[in-house]
Chain A
Amino acid sequence: MSADPGRTRRVFFREAICRAVGETLDAEPNAIVMGQDVGAFGGSYKEFYGLFERFGPARVRDTPVAEAAMVGLGVGAAAAGLRTLVSITYMDFVLLALDPLVNYAAKARFKTGGQIRVPMVVKLTAGAKGQGVAHSQSLESWLVSVPGLRVVAPSNVADAYGLMRSALQADGPVVYVDHKRLFPTSGALDDSVHEVPFGLAAVCRPGRHASIVTHSYMVCVALAACDQLAVSGIDCEVIDLRSLAPLDLATVCTSVSKTGALLTLEEGQVVCGIGAEIACQVQARLGPVRVMRLGAVPAPVSSNPVLEAATLPNAARVADAVRRLLMEG
């Protein structure tokens, strides 16, 4: 497809990622992609479709099933002058690769007095979609507390593209979290080359009564809940964080100042979750406000559809949480 600046077209989530990665490979001869099945197969979610044919096996590299070494190589290569994107099909498996990511990449610039930088993106796919206890987790809250790591999580096509562009221009390690249930979605994407900056949340639905602060696929769930609540006259604002580290507290606080009620929503665990951090930081800035946190129940996420659904937030649970939050006040 030839670019036509100013024109907007409808693309799938995976195509938005692929476009941003392809543009980077085009513009930067030192940029490479590594991961399992990223080559001729085109990525597990087809998010690298066509890149192997365009850029060849040296720059779009299939790796063995060895997450620790994949990320370690990505870190080392980035530290020595390449720009790397390492793709891990299931976020659960980043646990195998935390040593190079947390102990090396996040600390390299600091520990070497600025001699080494690690311009690397680790792309992880989070979320539950019928694949069971070790293929369904949303673990981004584990990573946001690591100084030196930036963590972003788009919820729509435009941000999938713009945040990937930004991630591939960063001079340090970035964790890019996408979601299995977002890959089949589509949306509008402007043909112009552009970025979504880190640390900037988006108000994706304005509202008066409560602020739902969330990210990734849960934005879709929150918006569905808002439609249900609107029927009974409850008007919620939805903030899509987009960037989890750094956090855009200013946008969140502006919203909560207006509505006076905060529901944090995430697919991961509530304990030590993104919501806990936001609730604490918002109250430190604004003083006491009505707050509720919603996330996965404290149990593994089964592949059994009944049990999976029992574990995770859905629109009805979000709507119910908002009602309870507003009743408390």
Chain B
Amino acid sequence: MTASNDIDALAAMLLVRELESALSAREDCGFQLLSSGQEAVAVGVAAALLAQDQLLCSGRSIAPALARGLDPGRVMAELIGRASGPCLGRGGRGHLSQPSAGFFGAHAVVAGNLSIAAGVALALQARLDRSIAVCLFGDGACGAGALHETMNIAALWQLPLLLVCDNNLYSVSTPRAAALAPQRLSDLAAPFGIKACTVDGMDVRSVRGAAVALTDHVRSGGGPAFLECVSRRFASHSTSARETRGQQELAADRELDPITRLEKALLLEGALSTQTALGLREQVRARVTAACAFAEASPLPVPDEAFADVG
């Protein structure tokens, strides 16, 4: 990977952070699941994907959608229920989707998108063009039978499926250790003979490196793979959930910020100047301002649309 990939990754992570911050500040923000803190996972994984691949994810879908290249204006429109969102404002944050852009999309039932992703992988396998399906899910999904059923079939049928667990260490308020027995969540893949590893999800380079290796494995017909990325979310579970973590823990998490971490590394390595870094932030802010303006200019759906496209 080159420095230009790193700068793209930095810009992609900044876009997520900036867009979510603009979203949170809005009166019509509503119920949202923010990705702030976890940007490196979606951005690192998306960097390993090709145009014909499909990315699926949990309801925490803003970073995955943006990382996959969806237009920030349309994403913002969808998030605030406007008709120019890719789902015409009907899906919202939990169900962002744009398959034509390689983003099959979100499904807000915990563990609910895993077997769907395996089905998408089955359809892609029939195409013989080496395309793959990738499913991002939280640590909460690892306690569900859906993961185990899906891994079993994916391994049996050698499906082109990369499972990515974005382990942010909490299911709402329940710490991961109180909910899940395995030492590492990637250990769950071993009994099925699925290639797996665990990486630091706060380091976009580590995520990207592992994602490239595992997507190569999946793409070349090696069967499914499992990537665990240990991350931290900076906000509470959702915009309507109480924060249960203490100030000290939150401050320690902030120290791991994937954006400042990459930026510092690039500055230190001489791949980025302070001036370029500032310019990058300015560009991202301008994109988000334009995205908000686009979304605001878009109408809400008419009530009759409640009956459209049923079935």
Contacts and interface: CB of A to CB of B under 8 A. Distances in A.
Contact of B310 (A71, A99, A147): A147
Contacts of B116: 72-73, 75-76, 79, 100, 104
A78 B86 CA distance: 20
A69 B105 contact: no
B309 A114 contact: yes
B311 interface: yes
B112 A103 contact: yes
Contacts of A150: 311
B91 A111 contact: yes
Interface stretch (B6-14, B148-156, B235-243, B264-272): B148-156
A69 B117 CA distance: 10
A136 B123 CA distance: 34
B17 interface: no
A112 B117 contact: no
B144 to A, nearest CB: 9
Contacts of A78: 119
Contacts of B107: 103-104
A258 to B, nearest CB: 32
A112 B87 contact: yes
Q: How large is the interface on B (under 10, 10 to 19, 20 to 34, 35 or more residues)?
A: 35 or more
Nearest to B112: A99
B310 A110 contact: yes
B152 A111 contact: no
A63 B116 CA distance: 15
Interface in A30-81: 30, 58, 61, 63-64, 66, 68-69, 71-81
A296 to B, nearest CB: 29
Interface stretch (B94-102, B172-180, B193-201, B275-283): B94-102
A68 B147 CA distance: 10
B70 interface: no
Which residue, of B115, B146, B310, has the highest number of chain A Cβ atoms within 10 A? B115
A113 B150 CA distance: 27
Nearest to A120: B119
B46 interface: no
Which residue, of A61, A63, A111, A114, has the highest number of chain B Cβ atoms within 10 A? A111
Contacts of B57: none
B88 interface: yes
A111 B118 CA distance: 20
B50 to A, nearest CB: 16
B90 interface: yes
B153 A100 contact: no
Interface in B74-88: 85-88
Given A30-B126, A80-B123, A99-B112, A69 B308 contact: no
B123 A172 contact: no
B97 A116 contact: yes
Contact of A103 (B85, B97, B109, B121): B109
B246 interface: no
Given A64-B153, A72-B146, A115-B86, A80 B114 contact: no
B90 A80 contact: no
Which residue, of A74, A81, A112, has the highest number of chain B Cβ atoms within 10 A? A112
B112 A100 contact: yes
A99 B112 CA distance: 7
B109 A74 contact: no
A181 interface: no
A72 B311 contact: no
A106 interface: yes
B122 A77 contact: yes
Interface of A: 30, 58, 61, 63-64, 66, 68-69, 71-82, 84, 99-100, 103-104, 106, 109-116, 147-150, 172-173
Closest 8 CB pairs of A and B: A76-B119, A72-B115, A113-B88, A69-B149, A80-B123, A76-B116, A77-B119, A73-B119
Given A73-B153, A103-B109, A147-B310, 10 more contacts: A69-B152, A76-B121, A80-B119, A100-B115, A109-B311, A110-B310, A112-B86, A114-B309, A115-B100, A116-B104
23 contacts: A61-B157, A66-B153, A68-B115, A72-B119, A73-B116, A73-B122, A78-B119, A79-B119, A80-B120, A99-B109, A100-B112, A103-B112, A104-B107, A104-B112, A109-B309, A110-B90, A113-B88, A113-B90, A113-B91, A114-B309, A115-B98, A147-B310, A147-B311
